[in-house]
Amino acid sequence: MAAKGNVLIIDDQAARANELADTVVAAGFNVEVVTDPANTEFQIGVGSVFDAILCELDLKDFSWAEARPFLAKMEVQVPAIMFCDEADTELIITALRLGAVDFFLRPIEDTDALIRSINRCVRQRGQQRELEEARQDLEAANTELRGTVKMLEQDQQAGRQVQLRMLPSTPMVLGDYVFSHTVIPSLYLSGDFTDYFTVGERHVTFFMADVSGHGSSSAFATVLLKNLFARKRSDLLRRDDHTILDPLAMLRRANDELMALEVGKFATMVVGLLDTRDNTLRYSVAGHLPLPVLVSEEGARYLPGQGSAVGLMEDAEYEEHSIELPESFMLALFSDGILEILPPKNLIEKEKYFLDVFEQAADSPAELVTRLGLDRVETAPDDIAALFLSKRG
What CATH number did the domain enclosing 368 receive?
Answer: 3.60.40.10
The 10s digit of each residue's pLDDT in 289-316 is: 999 999 998 888 999 998 999 999 988 9
Residues 129 and 174 occupy one common structural domain: no
In this structure, is residue 309 part of a structural domain?
A: yes
Nearest 5°: phi and psi at 290? Answer: -70, 160
Q: Is residue 143 part of a domain?
A: no
pLDDT at 99 over 70: yes
Cα distances (Å, whole numbers) of residue 325 to 139, 199, 276, 294: 63, 19, 10, 9
Percent of the chain with pLDDT over 90: 46
Most confident of 226-230, 345-349, 389-393: 226-230
pLDDT at residue 98, rounded to an integer = 73
Centre a 10 Å sphere on the Cβ of residue 56 and count the other Cβ atoms it contains: 22
Question: Same domain, yes or no, for 123 and 216?
Answer: no
The arithmetic mean of pLDDT across residues 310-337, rounded, is 92
pLDDT reading at 72 higher than 60: no
Burial of 2 (0-12, 13-18, 19+ CB in 10 A): exposed
> Which CATH number fits the domain that encloses residue 43?
3.40.50.2300
pLDDT for 272 beyond 90: yes
pTM over 0.85: no
Same domain? For 251 and 349 the reply is yes
- For range 121-140, the mean pLDDT: 90
Q: What is the tens place of the pLDDT at every residue in 165-208?
A: 778 888 999 999 999 998 877 666 778 899 999 999 999 999 99
**pLDDT of 269 strictly over 90:** yes
Q: Which amino acid is at 85?
A: D
Phi-psi region of 311 (alpha: psi -120 to 50; beta: other; left: phi over 0): left
Q: What is the per-residue pLDDT for 255?
A: 94
Do 338 and 263 sit in the same domain of this protein? yes
- Residues contacting 385, CB < 8 A, separation 6+: 181, 182, 183, 184, 190, 192, 193, 194, 208, 210, 334, 335, 337
Of the three residues 136, 154, 177, the one that is the final residue of a domain is: 136
pLDDT band at 1 (very low <50, low <70, confident <90, very high): low
pLDDT of res. 138: 92
Residue 332 lies in a domain: yes
One domain, residues 376 and 228: yes
Residue 154, in any domain of the structure: no
Helix (H, G, I), strand (E, B) or coil at 282: strand
Please tell me whether residues 118 and 222 are part of one structural domain.
no
Same domain membership, residue 306 and residue 219:
yes
User: When comparing pLDDT for 59 and 347, which is higher?
Assistant: 347
Least reliable range by pLDDT among 79-83, 96-100, 194-198, 284-288: 96-100
To the nearest whole percent, how much of the chain has pLDDT over 70?
Answer: 91
Q: What angle do helix axes 111-166 and 14-26 make, rounded to 10 degrees?
A: 70
Give the pLDDT of residue 63: 61
Split at pLDDT 50, 70, 90, the class of 9 is very high
- If one compares 204 and 353, the residue with the highest pLDDT of the two is 204
Lowest mean pLDDT among 134-143, 150-159, 277-286, 338-347: 150-159
The one-letter amino acid code at 157 reads Q
Assess whether pLDDT exceeds 60 at residue 40.
Answer: yes
Residue 217: give the domain boundaries: 167-391
Same domain, 185 and 304: yes
pLDDT score, position 180: 93
d(C-alpha 228, C-alpha 25), whole Å: 80
Which residues, listed in sequence order, are joined to residue 6 by a DSSP beta bridge? 30
Is 152 contained in some domain? no
Residue 104 and residue 227 in one domain? no
Count: domains in the chain: 2
- 64 and 106 both lie in a single domain: yes
pLDDT at 378: 63
Pair 196, 342 in one domain: yes
Distance, CA of 119 to CA of 124 (rounded, Å):
9
Mean pLDDT rounded to a whole number for the chain = 86
Do 123 and 171 reside in the same domain of the chain? no
**Three-state SS for 116?**
helix
